[in-house]
Structure 1
Amino acid sequence: MTCSFAIPCQARERVCVILNISLMKTSLLILAFALVLSSCSVQPRASWIITTENEPWQEQSDLVSASSDTIPTIDAVIHTHKKGQKIDGFGACFNELGWISLSKLDPTVREEIMEELFFPEIGANFTICRMPVGANDFSRDWYSYNETEGDFEMEYFTIANDQQTLIPFIKGAQKYNSDLRIWASPWCPPAWMKYNKHYASAYTGEAYNEKYRNGLPADKVGYEGTDMFIQDSLYLQSYALYFSKFIEAYREQGIDIFAVMPQNEFNSAQIFPSCCWTAASLANFVGNYLGPAMKEQDVKVMFGTMERANEALVDTILTDPVSGKYISAVGFQWAGKGAIKGIHERYPDMKLYQTEQECGDGKNDWSGAVYSWNLMRHYLDNGASAYMYWNISLDKGGISRWGWAQNSLVVVDPDTKTFHYTPEYYVMKHLSHYVQPGARKLETSGQFSNLMAFVNPDKSIVVALANEGNEDRQVSVEIDGRVYQPVLPAHSIATLLID
C-alpha cells in the first residue's frame, strides 16, 4: 500500500517565506558577529625600531593604536592629506679612499657591507649616489682625466685611474641594486684650464705638515667671487666636451650618469682640488656649453653645489633665460642649508637636493649622529628630495691626502681587517631603510616637532622621531584618527612603520 502526502500550494509559499526570513536573519547575525570580532581583534599596528648610542637598531614589540578619542593629549599629528615633495632617495658619495679602505677587508666581508648598503629592503637601501668627475678631497691624490695642456679636442682623455677605484666601487654597488641612480660633479677641471695652472686654490703654508702640502705658490691662490677657470670660449667648449667624454666613458663601463653639476662648492678656494666660479660665469657655461652638450647625451644638468646661504647666486642661474631652461634641480650643502628654505618657497616646482653630509672630525661619535639627524630634518623639512652622506667608508683614523680626518658610515681597521658601522650609519638607515623612492613628505603639527613623516607609494606610513633629552619620553602620535604611543629612550632615534 502506497501513501502520499502533498502540501497545498499556498502553504508551501508560506513555508518558503518563513525559511527565507529565517536564513536572512541568521546571515545578518553572522555578519554582525564577524564585524564585532574584527573590530575587537584587528587594530592598526606599527612595527618600530630604536637606536641609542650603545644599542643600535633594536626591534621593538608592535605598537597597537588607540582611538584618538581615548587619548587626552596628542603630542604630534601626521597630516596624511597634506603632502610635500616627492622623495628620490638616500645615498652617499663614491670616493677613492672609500674603496681603498673596503679593499683591505676579506672579499666576503666587503660583499656583506655592499649588500647591507645597497640591496633593496635589506639595510640602508641606498638608491641615489654621487661621484666625483676626477679627483676630490678624498681621492688618493690629484688627477684629472686629461692633463695634456692644450688638448682642446680631448684626444688624451682617459678614465684609467678610475678603473682601479671608482669603477669597481660603483659596480660593486650595482651588483646589489641595478637601478642605483648616480650623478656627478667635478671638484676641479684639468689644471691647465685654470688661471693658476694648479689643482688647488688655497695656500697650505710652510707651517702645514709637509706630508699634506699641495705645492701651490702663495701668489697663485684664488678668491671667492672671482673666476679661476679661464673664461675663453675655446676652454669652455673643451670643458663641455670633457664632461661628454666622461659620460660616454662611464656608459661604456655599464655605468649611466643621470645628471651632472658644473662645480662642487663653486665659491670656495680650497687647499685640495677646487675651482672658484662666479654665478654669472656658471650661467654662461651652463647655458651655452654644458647644457647643450648634456642634452645631446640625454643627461640632466643640476645647479650646484651651493655651499653659501646666498639665494641670489641661485637666482642668477634660474632666472637667466639661457641657462635656466637647462636646470633640473639645485643642490645644497654645508652653509648652503641657509638658502634652501627661501629657494623652496620662491621656486616651489624646482627639485632640490641635499648633496653632501657635513663631514665631521673623524670621531664618529653619537654627537655626530645627532647633528646628522638634525641636518636631515632641516633639509627634508625644507623641500629636499634626496639626501646624501659623504664618505661611505674610511680607515680607522683615516686622514685625507690633504690632512683632514672625517666621519664615515663604515670604519675599517686595517690591522685586524675588521669593520663597524658608525652611529651616523644607523641614523641614515632609520630613514633610508623605510622611505621608498617616490614617497611623499607629510606635514606634521603639534608640540612635539622632533620628527619627520612620509607616505610611501605602497601607502605605508613612516614616522621617524628623536628624543635628545636625558629622560625617556612617551610621545602620542596621531595618524588618521589612530594614536600610537612609543616610549622613546633618552638620547635615541626611532622609526615607526604603519602598513
Structure 2
Amino acid sequence: MIRNLRSTLLKTVASSGVAALLLTSTLPAPASAAGETAEVWLTDLGTGTRLAKQANVTFSPDDGAAGTSIVLDENTQYQQMDGFGASITDASAWLLNYKLTASKRAEVMEKLFGRTGIGLSMLRQTIGASDFNWEIYSYNESAGDTAMNNFSIARDLPYIVPMVKQARSVNPNIKVMAAAWSPPGWMKKGQFPDAVHPMATGYLDPQYYGAYANYLVKFIQAYQGQGIPIYAISPVNEPGLQIKDYPTTYMSIADHNNFIKNNLGPSMRAAGLGTKIMAYDFNWDNVSFPDQALADAAVNSYVAGTAYHHYGGSPSAMTTIHDKYPSKDIWFTEGGYGSWNPSFTGMMREMIAVPRNWSKSYILWNLALDQNNGPTVLPSSINWGTVTIRSDAMDSVTYNDQYYAIGHFSKFVVPGARRVASTGYNGGTLDHVAFKNPDGSKAIVVFNYGSASNTFKIVWNGQKISYTLKANSAVTFKWTNNGGSAASTVSLKASANGSFVSADNTGADPLVANREAVGDWEKFRLVSNGDGTVSLHAVANNKYVMADQNNGGRLIAASAAIGTWEKFYRTDAGGVTTLRSAANDQYVTADLNLAAPVLYANRASAGGWEQFTIASAP
C-alpha cells in the first residue's frame, strides 16, 4: 500500500525466537562435512555485483581458533517456510501482459519465478481493487445482492488471472494467498461520500456480514475454477487504515473477531474450503489486535495464525505473539519499498529479521511498477516495484535492489524448508539466518551492516568455511551434502497403523501400508534431486515410485526415470515425515478405507494417515 504516512521505516534487529521448536530427522546426519563444497552468491553494491555466483568454498576441519564464528545447527529447527514472493497487483499484471512481448515476458517470468532466476514461491493477490489499479472495482456492484447471484471475477480475466497462471506455470509450487482491501461499496457505512471513491474508507455494515463472507467464498471458488488454488486469505487488509483515495476498510478488533467466528469461518467450512484464514494483516506496532484475535477461542479455532506488515513497529512483535500462541503460524505478507525507505541495508536486515522472528514468509508489495511508480489510482506514488517495466516503451525492464535482496533467500530456500539455528555475533556487524531444505541442503544468508569488511567463519558439523564480506554486502552459501544426489536405503512406516509400506505389486498394483516387517519390497532408495524434492526408488524392482496421474494420484513403483510425477517434497516434524507430490501439490496418504491402505497423493492437507516414519534400512 502507499506509504506517504511513514517517512522512515524503523530499523529492525535480527533476533531469533525464544521458544525453539526442536525437530529432528530420523535419517542420520552426515558423519563429516570435510570436503563438502558450498556455492557462494554475492551482492556487493560497491562493485556493482548483484546476486552473482562466486568461486565455491570447501569445508575443512574447524581448528577452534578465535574469531567471528557463525555456528549452524541443522538439528535445532524452527518454523517451516512457505516461501518468498510479491504481489501481482492490477498494475503489475497490466505491465507484464501489455508492455512486454511474449518472448520478453517469458524471460522476465523465468527470472522472477524460475530455477535459473530467483524462484519466487509466493503470491499475495488482491481481492478486487487496491491502490495500484487502473480503477476501483469490486466483484459485485449489484447493491443488495446478498446471495451473490451477480458475483463475477470477469474484471480479472483479461490479464490478472493469465499472469498468475503464467507465474504458476514457471513455478508450479507457488502458494497464492489473497487479501481484500474493501467489500463492495454498497456493503459499507461511513465511507467517503464521493461517487468517485465508492469503496474508500468506511466500515462493513453488520447487516452484510453474511453477504461479505459469501463474497469471499465466491472469490476463492472462482479462482480455484481458474486453476489457481487459494492457500490463505485475510478478510481485510490493514483493518485500521482509512484513506479516501483508494479502497480501505476500518475494522475494529470486535468487528474483526465477530466477522471471522460468526460468518467467514463457518461459511468457509460449510463450503468445504481448505483455505487458511489469516488474522490481523497489519503493522507490527499493534500487538494488542492480533493478541485479542487469538485470545478469542472461537476465532482461534478458525484462523491459522496472524499476518504482518512492516510500516510500523519491530519484527520482534511476531516473536511476542509466537511465544504466547506457539501453535499458530505467522506470515509477513506485505513489505513495500520506495523513496521513503530506499536502503539496501534496511532490506537485507529486515529480510533476515523476519524469519528469525517466526514468519513463514516474506512477501514484497508490487511485483512490477512503471517509471512513474504506477499505474495507480493515487494522485502520486512513492512506491517502487520489485522490477520496473516502462509503460511508455516495450520490453524495458529494470531489476531493482529488492529483487536481488529477496533473491538471496528465494533462490536457495524452497517451500517446506525449516529455519535452523545459526548463532554467533562475535563480530558485532553480521546478521544471518539459516535454513534446511526438504532435500537436506543447507542455505545461510549473511549480511554485513558495518562500515568495514568483516572476516568470519561458518561452523557446521565440526567443519568450517571462512569468508571476508565487505561492508553493506550480502552473501548466501548453499551446500547439498555430497552434491545432493546420494541415496540412502530407507523404510517407510505409516504412523496411523504402524505398518511398513510395500511396493510388492504383481503388475500395476499401488503401494500399500500393510507389512509387519521390512523385506526387499519394503526397501526404497531415498534420492535427493537437488531441487528441493526427493524420489523413492524401489530396491526390489529397480523402479521409481510415481504418483499415477491417470489413476487419481495412486503411488506405484513403475517408472524407469525421475520426472515431475516421481518427485515429492519431504517435510520432517516431530519425528514424523509427510510427502507432497511435486506434480499435483497433494499429500501422500495411506487411508482410503480399503482392506489394505493404498498409497495415493490426493490429500490437500496432512493428518494422521499422511504421516510416515522414515528410517534407515539395511
Q: Which TM-score applies when normalising by structure 2?
A: 0.67
Indicate which of 408, 411, 425 corresponds to 2:385.
408
In structure 2, what is the equivalent of residue 373 of structure 1?
348
Equivalences for 1:29-428 in 2 at 5 Å?
A: 43-53=35-45, 54-69=48-63, 71-102=65-96, 103-119=98-114, 121-198=115-192, 215=196, 228-232=203-207, 235-271=208-244, 272-295=246-269, 296=271, 297-334=273-310, 335=312, 337=315, 339-361=317-339, 367-399=342-374, 400-402=376-378, 403-417=380-394, 418-428=396-406
Worse-superposed segment, 140-149 or 71-80: 71-80
Aligned-partner SS, 2:170: coil
In structure 2, what is the equivalent of residue 437 of structure 1?
415
Distance of 2:152 and 2:393 partners within structure 1: 36
With over 3 angstroms needed to count, the CA separation of the structure-2 counterparts of 1:58 and 1:359, relative to structure 1, is closer
Do the aligned partners of 1:198 and 1:216 also contact (CA within 8 Å) in 2? Answer: yes
Q: Does 1:465 align with 2:443?
A: no
Paired amino acid for 1:52: D
Aligned-partner SS, 1:47: strand
With over 3 angstroms needed to count, the CA separation of the structure-2 counterparts of 1:221 and 1:171, relative to structure 1, is closer
Distance of 1:280 and 1:397 partners within structure 2: 39
With over 3 angstroms needed to count, the CA separation of the structure-2 counterparts of 1:154 and 1:416, relative to structure 1, is closer
With over 3 angstroms needed to count, the CA separation of the structure-2 counterparts of 1:459 and 1:160, relative to structure 1, is same
Deviation (angstroms), 1:477: 1.6
Deviation (angstroms), 1:215: 4.9
Aligned residues: 435
Deviation (angstroms), 1:113: 0.8
In structure 2, what is the equivalent of residue 4 of structure 1?
none
Do the aligned partners of 1:66 and 1:483 also contact (CA within 8 Å) in 2? Answer: yes
Describe the superposition over 1:121-150 as per-residue Cα deviations: whole angstroms up to 9, x where unpaired: 322212221101100111212100112211
Deviation (angstroms), 1:178: 2.4
Paired amino acid for 2:128: G
Distance of 1:276 and 1:264 partners within structure 2: 10
Do the aligned partners of 1:183 and 1:258 also contact (CA within 8 Å) in 2? Answer: yes
Q: CA RMSD in A?
A: 2.3
Indicate which of 466, 473, 479 corresponds to 2:460.
479
With over 3 angstroms needed to count, the CA separation of the structure-2 counterparts of 1:419 and 1:168, relative to structure 1, is same
Deviation (angstroms), 1:70: 5.4
With over 3 angstroms needed to count, the CA separation of the structure-2 counterparts of 1:221 and 1:298, relative to structure 1, is closer
Worse-superposed segment, 339-348 or 261-270: 339-348
Do the aligned partners of 1:89 and 1:432 also contact (CA within 8 Å) in 2? Answer: yes
Paired amino acid for 1:257: I
Deviation (angstroms), 1:185: 1.1
Paired amino acid for 2:227: G
With over 3 angstroms needed to count, the CA separation of the structure-2 counterparts of 1:281 and 1:51, relative to structure 1, is same
Distance of 2:386 and 2:108 partners within structure 1: 11
Greater helix percent: which structure? 1
Mind listing any 5+ residue stretches in structure 1 that lack a counterpart?
1-38, 201-213
Deviation (angstroms), 1:293: 1.4
Distance of 1:199 and 1:147 partners within structure 2: 17
Worse-superposed segment, 440-449 or 321-330: 440-449
Deviation (angstroms), 1:299: 2.1
Deviation (angstroms), 1:468: 2.5
In structure 1, what is the equivalent of residue 16 of structure 2?
none
Distance of 2:138 and 2:324 partners within structure 1: 37
Distance of 1:266 and 1:311 partners within structure 2: 14
Deviation (angstroms), 1:184: 0.8
With over 3 angstroms needed to count, the CA separation of the structure-2 counterparts of 1:338 and 1:461, relative to structure 1, is closer
Do the aligned partners of 1:159 and 1:249 also contact (CA within 8 Å) in 2? Answer: yes
Distance of 2:193 and 2:106 partners within structure 1: 34
After superposing on structure 2, the runs of 4+ consecutive aligned residues of structure 1 that deviate more than 4 Å are 197-200, 214-217
Do the aligned partners of 1:132 and 1:187 also contact (CA within 8 Å) in 2? Answer: yes
Distance of 2:346 and 2:386 partners within structure 1: 14
In structure 1, what is the equivalent of residue 584 of structure 2?
none
Deviation (angstroms), 1:221: 8.4
Distance of 1:346 and 1:485 partners within structure 2: 38
Distance of 2:393 and 2:222 partners within structure 1: 37
Q: Which TM-score applies when normalising by structure 1?
A: 0.82
Describe the superposition over 1:82-141 as per-residue Cα deviations: whole angstroms up to 9, x where unpaired: 21111111111120100122221222111111122222x322212221101100111212
Paired amino acid for 1:465: V
With over 3 angstroms needed to count, the CA separation of the structure-2 counterparts of 1:179 and 1:43, relative to structure 1, is closer
Paired amino acid for 2:327: D
Aligned-partner SS, 2:298: coil
Worse-superposed segment, 442-451 or 155-164: 442-451
Identity of aligned residues (%): 29
Deviation (angstroms), 1:469: 3.0
Q: Does 1:493 align with 2:497?
A: no
Distance of 1:107 and 1:305 partners within structure 2: 35
Deviation (angstroms), 1:307: 2.0
In structure 2, what is the equivalent of residue 30 of structure 1?
none
Describe the superposition over 1:201-231 as per-residue Cα deviations: whole angstroms up to 9, x where unpaired: xxxxxxxxxxxxx9569xx985xxxx71112
Aligned-partner SS, 1:56: strand
Aligned-partner SS, 1:43: coil
Worse-superposed segment, 73-82 or 175-184: 73-82
Paired amino acid for 2:354: Y
With over 3 angstroms needed to count, the CA separation of the structure-2 counterparts of 1:215 and 1:46, relative to structure 1, is same
Deviation (angstroms), 1:45: 2.1
Aligned-partner SS, 1:60: strand
Distance of 2:164 and 2:453 partners within structure 1: 41
Mind listing any 5+ residue stretches in structure 2 that lack a counterpart?
1-31, 481-618
Worse-superposed segment, 368-377 or 266-275: 368-377
Q: Does 1:453 align with 2:422?
A: no
Do the aligned partners of 1:118 and 1:125 also contact (CA within 8 Å) in 2? Answer: yes
Distance of 2:337 and 2:70 partners within structure 1: 31
Aligned-partner SS, 1:57: strand
